[in-house]
Amino acid sequence: MRPQRTPVGFGDLEALDFDKGGGLLPAIVQDAGSGAVLTLGYMNRAALVRSLTCRRVVFYSRSRGRLWEKGETSGNTLELDEIRTDCDRDTLLVSARPRGPVCHLGTGTCFGDTAGRPEDATAFLAKLEQVIHQRAAARPDGSYTSKLLASGWTKIAQKVGEEGLEAALAGAGGRDSEVVEEVADLFYHVLVLLKARGLTLEQVIGELRGRHEARG
């Protein structure tokens, strides 16, 4: 019987093959929103337990010889979504949401920035969602996003309706540039509404993917 590749929990620790790597498992970290590969680290049993407990990614640093939480000095943490294991149970796939640049060099991933590549155009929506999440947590003065979130989801929903109407009117008779501007406004306000309702862009994409697969 093949092992089920379900998310790793506290009860799965004994099933993982720590011995093969001398007590360490390679941990590939993937952006939970865009799917981009962010970095590679290593986890021992204690790092895995700490990650599952605090819901932030914690590695075992081979150079420092101790546990190391990503962002413990920079503040650029990786908020844990879930952890899965491969079929041999000796490698981890960590799904996380980065709060700031992942690499110590200031790039979005440890493999360099990929801005300008076609596949990153839609991934920017996931980055924008992260910015909205940060505004919701910090509520900085003068932030339009913060003000919008404070108004409640009913007001935000009304704003989405207004932006949708403006996008429709631009599409019916406006210039191309106006269509782009109004649709951009609509996308932004939809992301704020999702945040206000405790929902994510990933859930919307999952719904669209499911419809596509069902229809072939």
* Tens-place pLDDT, residues 141-164: 999 999 999 999 999 999 999 999
Contact 139, 146 (CB under 8 A): yes
CATH among 1.10.3720.10, 1.10.287.1080, 1.10.1750.10, 1.10.1050.10 for 120-215: 1.10.287.1080
| Cα–Cα distance, 82 to 29 (Å, whole number) | 10
What percent of the chain is predicted at pLDDT more than 70?
Answer: 92
pLDDT of residue 112: 78
- pLDDT at res. 118: 45
| Closest among 114, 93, 125 to 208, alpha carbons compared | 125
Contact yes or no for 25/92 (Cβ under 8 A): yes
Q: Report the alpha-carbon distance of residue 98 to residue 204 in Å, rounded.
A: 20
Give domain limits for the chain.
10-98, 120-215
CB 166 within 8 A of CB 178: no
C-alpha–C-alpha distance, residues 41 and 63, integer Å? 12
pLDDT tens digits for range 85-131: 999 999 999 999 998 888 888 888 898 765 434 445 667 787 788 88
Q: Which secondary-structure segment (H or E) carries 25?
A: strand 25-31
Given a contact cutoff of 8 angstroms between Cβ atoms, the answer to whether 110 and 38 are in contact is yes
For residue 114, give both structure tokens: 């990929």
When mean pLDDT is compared across 39-53, 63-77, 98-112, 150-164, the lowest value belongs to 98-112
Return mean pLDDT, the chain: 89
Query: How would CATH label the architecture of 10-98?
Result: Roll (3.10)
